[in-house]
Chains A and B, each alone.
Chain A
Amino acid sequence: MLLSIKDLFVTYGAIEALHGISFDGEEGGIVTLIGANGAGKSTTLWSIVRQIKEMGGKVDSGSMEFKGEDLSKYSPHDVVNKLGITLVPEGRRVFSNMSVLENLKIAAFGRKDKEDVAQDLERVFGIFPRLEERKSQLADLLSGGELQMLAVGRSLMNRGSLMLLDEPSMGLAPILVQELFGNLATINKEGSTILLVEQNAHLALRYTTKAYVLETGTITLSGSSEEVGKNPEVKKAYLGG
């Protein structure tokens, strides 16, 4: 298993957000955690990338392993730099006062392999041609879809082996969502494992292989995305009938 989460308990002060969740991510897979707002999806991602403390939360118990390594031994930046786990945060957080190109280049700030960086940049522009068209534009002035592309592209520049995405479809027009998820499929095919957190279950189940349903801090259902999509409870709660 590439990623293995067991019995994870997370609290924000007196409030328990995750009540012992367990799930796995297979190498090369594309996994989704679906659930309503407040179910604990983002909390899970922040715990994995070790940024839960900055969010005011705390991992109380449970284990998180990546390639057999205990994640709790890594600092937030080593999670990215040493383990290659990258988070594309919710809300398309890019560096708004920098150009598109600067945003991409700065993501490779720690890398010395200049030629490979240039290649990766080509790759990002290959996947997202719109970003190349707008590379010298201020990131602040991009459209919502372009911002999400930039956030994903930036995380690609880290050469991660596991990409975590927090609500990438939020606030995007359907056509852009289609385009973006098509791009994610390409990225997955090229070798990155993807863990996707989504409120839009319909979409998430269509593009992923494995799914977990998270309800108020507990995993209530898991299985292949196809199976999960057929479950009557899930249909009723998330797929509009």
Chain B
Amino acid sequence: MKHRNALLLVILLALALTACQKTSDNLVVGTSADYPPYEYVDEAGNMAGFDIELMAEIAKRMDVKIEWQDMPFDSLIQAVQEGKIDASISCFNYSEERAQLVDFSDPYHTSEDAFIAMKDFTKKFTKAEDAANYKLGVQSGTMQDEWITEELIETGLMSESNLSRYERVDQAALDLKAGRIDILMADDVPAGVIASQDDDLEIIYKEMLYTGPINIVLPKGSADLQAEINRIIAELKAEGFIEKLAIKYFYE
């Protein structure tokens, strides 16, 4: 009898968990919900953020139901490529490497790169390349990671041993406070959130390097979906929807 109960439990659990599987009429959108204010989970455990709200509006106008699939940032491109998800919105900058693997929508927002340090940081930092003189931290797989790798390490300005790659920005911020790194490089919006939440940290330098426009990532050869999303992005820009969203999430 006990065995039968255990089996039943397994079956029920399996059913409950498969209930939220991909179905044909839903748009499965992947994101790495650990990057406030672009994407994060709110206190109620729901997805929230600039990207999330924007994508929800896009889906609404496409008249499809959205199904969120959270996964680590590093897994997203591959998941799109393999068709595990239909699209991904997770603060993706365009790059040629990425463009070989997936397609991009038109940009929906433009961001900058920021360098964060402790407030008592007094050393020289007047241009982006000065970062090469310090212990750096970055979220792995991001455009900032790529910039450091290509412009600082491969050019010989700094040694790779001085770079720490983190799975998430908040981990890097902790190490910054602990003194294991001197400078944290990140997209300026999440960098702004970190600096504003923590009195010890501040943004010491900002510049548009490899970042810039951010886009929705789509599988190769999804021209129809791409065209429709681009049309809606243009519509939302024209209506001022995106600007309002940016003010709500980035400047309030």
Q: In the complex, are there CB atoms of A and B closer than 8 Å?
A: no
Chain B residues within CB distance 8 Å of chain A:
none
